[in-house]
Amino acid sequence: MSIVQLTRRQLLVAGTALTMALGAPAFAQTPPGVLVVGQIAEPKALDPAAVTAVNDFRILMNVYDGLVRYKDGTLEVEPALATEWSISEDGTEYTFTLRDGVTFHDGSAFDAEAVKFNFDRMLDENHPFYDTGPFPLSFFFSAIDKVEAVDPKTVKFVLKEPYAPFLSNLAYPTGLIVSPASVEKHGSDFGRNPSGTGPFKFAEWRPNEAVVVEANPDYWDGAPKLQAVVFRPITDASTRTAEMLAGGIDLMVEVPPVALSQFQGETYTLHEQAGPHLWFLILNAKEGPFADKLVRQAANYAINKEAIVNEVLEGTAEVAAGPTPPAFAWAYNENLTPYAYDPDKARELIAEAGADGAELTFYVTEGGSGMLDPVAMGTAIQADLEAVGFDVKIETYEWNTFLGEVNPGLEGKADMAEMAWMTNDPDTLPFLALRSEAFPDKGGFNSGYYSNPEVDALLEKARRATDQEERADLYKQMQEIVHEDAPWVFVANWKQNAVTSDRVEDFQLQPSFFLLLDDVAKN
């Protein structure tokens, strides 16, 4: 009759429902043979040509193969869908022999025409399926003049000019090979109906819940041990941590530094792997105090990088020595040592340059791809620079706005800016951000206007060299000069991390930051 009685009844119903829910202890356990991965965001598409985010690459690398791939634990290429290749004397013709008997998940055959289709789709505006884009990273292959299917098992790439990073770019997700038959069938919906040749086949995409892939028993490199992988997007880092602790996921990527202590002990394994990442400060070498090399070096000495990586980043990064991350083992100059933390030396250099008490405008971002903890790092850097006599004014911007300010160049606006890059070839970052030809008004990323003809020449030459040892030698020389000229403050190389539960076996992070699951098992 009255509301109170009604609620009592409702209370009873609710109570019963609650007890039923409590009786079902199903929430903790994920099934054996099925790996549940906690991802950081909903993927955009499962079309390798159309996406740019590492988050999406983590799925793609398990569904597709490229012509070549990175050798386990390195950033050196090895055969994948191509079994061997030859490079012409002048470095403009790459001829690949394709693997026999490989089929796409949709049953169609993998052959030279399929390879040609993939690159024409991205690069040729008149290709019938060019409209399945846009293809934001197609410029990775802008050196290609044409692709020829010589015979079903041979494909030839003709380049406009010699371009040494070409092989490495083929190993990048943008170079993964998709099934032409499926693109023809699904058109611009291919990104939600993907088909490749990889160890896992696409099974299901439940928007904002999960992407499910299943084992491909016919995989040319051996069937995977897992039956299926579920990629769950969990954007909030604290919630991702809680899911890991509650057993709702088996593998978690990008563990926030503050949460690392939760995963000590037997139940979890913490994986760490330094990758091709560099976090640095761009210094404005065109005007203001940093136009003087001594002041740029002083900034490198003044900043306590050890404290930044160990305290601000809780050990999730290593101190960087120069412009090339050590993950590029073959091209990294081992003789380089990081600028020591030496405030006295910094003061000396500043006095010598007459830059005492200089005012600096410092662009800081709130967050962004690869930027780690930019506000806390910026504040620590500000304190270190003020300790040696600079007057540092921080201006903070949201990431997209920040890129809009920094990429067109710092001239007339700022003396320094935070920046981070993740690349797949030692050529990319210095070529795009340190050459005189890469000033912002010429379409490059040299926002600090560093210019050294010697560096320019070394980088041009390295790009044309086809011999890896020769290239390595040129990059090593470049690193020494850049280290000395200090156009940037070299701060940190990020170590990617992941946590697995004790049910997961044989998992390893890769220096490429890709997530490869074909050898992983779960009990």
Partner 1 sequence: MGGYIARRLLSAVPVLLGITVIVFLIMALIPGDPATAILGSYATPENVARINRELGLDEPLWRQYLIWLGNMLQGDFGQSFALNRPVLDEVVERFGATLILAGTAFVLCALLGVIAGTISAANQYGFADKAITFAVLLGISIPSFFLGMMMILLFAVRLRWFPVSGMWPIYGARDAAALFSHLAMPALALAVVATGVIARLSRSALLEVLRQDFIRTARAKGVHERSVIWRHALRAAMVSILPVLGIQAGFVLSGAVYIEIVFQWPGIGRMLVDAILRRDILLVQGGVIVVAACYVFFNIVVDVAQSLLDPRIRT
Q: How far is CA 103 from CA 82, 98, 193, 247, in A?
A: 14, 12, 17, 36
**263 belongs to the binding site for partner 1 (CB under 8 A):** no
The span from the CA of 59 to the CA of 21, in Å, is 33
Q: Which of 120, 195, 116 is nearest to 150 (CA)?
A: 116
Among 246, 258, 270, 340, binds partner 1 (CB under 8 A): 246
**136 belongs to the binding site for partner 1 (CB under 8 A):** yes
**40 belongs to the binding site for partner 1 (CB under 8 A):** no
Report the sign of the C-alpha dihedral through residues 99, 115, 192, 52, in that order: positive
**504 belongs to the binding site for partner 1 (CB under 8 A):** no
**Considering the complex, what minimum distance in angstroms separates the CB of residue 370 from partner 1?**
8
Peptide bond into 257 cis (omega under 30): no
Angle at 502 between CA 496 and CA 503, to 5 degrees: 110
191 near 211, Cβ under 8 Å?
no
Toward partner 1, which CB reaches closer, 2 or 523? 2
Stretch that binds partner 1, among 44-52, 312-320, 388-396, 512-520 (CB under 8 A): 44-52
**443 belongs to the binding site for partner 1 (CB under 8 A):** yes
Toward partner 1, which CB reaches closer, 25 or 412? 25
Toward partner 1, which CB reaches closer, 354 or 408? 408
Among 80, 112, 230, 517, binds partner 1 (CB under 8 A): 230
The gap from C-alpha 240 to its chain's centroid, in whole angstroms, comes to 20
Stretch that binds partner 1, among 156-164, 312-320, 380-388, 393-401 (CB under 8 A): 393-401
440 near 447, Cβ under 8 Å?
yes
User: In a 3-state reduction of DSSP, which class is residue 123?
Assistant: helix
Toward partner 1, which CB reaches closer, 32 or 354? 32
Beta-sheet pairing, 68-70 with 77-79: antiparallel
**Considering the complex, what minimum distance in angstroms separates the CB of residue 409 from partner 1?**
11
**439 belongs to the binding site for partner 1 (CB under 8 A):** no
Assigned token pair, 223:
């069937």
Among 21, 101, 126, 264, binds partner 1 (CB under 8 A): 21
Among 243, 342, 456, 519, binds partner 1 (CB under 8 A): 243
Stretch that binds partner 1, among 147-155, 164-172, 226-234, 295-303 (CB under 8 A): 226-234
Among 176, 234, 381, 492, binds partner 1 (CB under 8 A): 234
The span from the CA of 168 to the CA of 331, in Å, is 13
**518 belongs to the binding site for partner 1 (CB under 8 A):** no
**267 belongs to the binding site for partner 1 (CB under 8 A):** no
Q: Which residues contact 364 (CB under 8 A, 6 or more apart)?
A: 374, 375, 378, 394, 395, 396, 397, 417, 418
**251 belongs to the binding site for partner 1 (CB under 8 A):** no
Toward partner 1, which CB reaches closer, 302 or 429? 429
**Considering the complex, what minimum distance in angstroms separates the CB of residue 280 from partner 1?**
12
DSSP 166-209: HHHHHTSGGGPPPPHHHHHHHGGGGGGS---SSSEEEEEEETTT
Among 88, 396, 407, 477, binds partner 1 (CB under 8 A): 407
Report the sign of the C-alpha dihedral through residues 212, 217, 222, 225, in that order: positive
User: Residues interacting with partner 1, by CB under 8 A?
Assistant: 2-4, 7, 17-18, 20-22, 24-28, 30-31, 36, 41-42, 44-45, 50, 52, 133-134, 136-137, 139, 191-192, 206-210, 230, 232-236, 238-239, 242-243, 245-248, 368-370, 397-401, 403-404, 407-408, 420-422, 440, 443-445
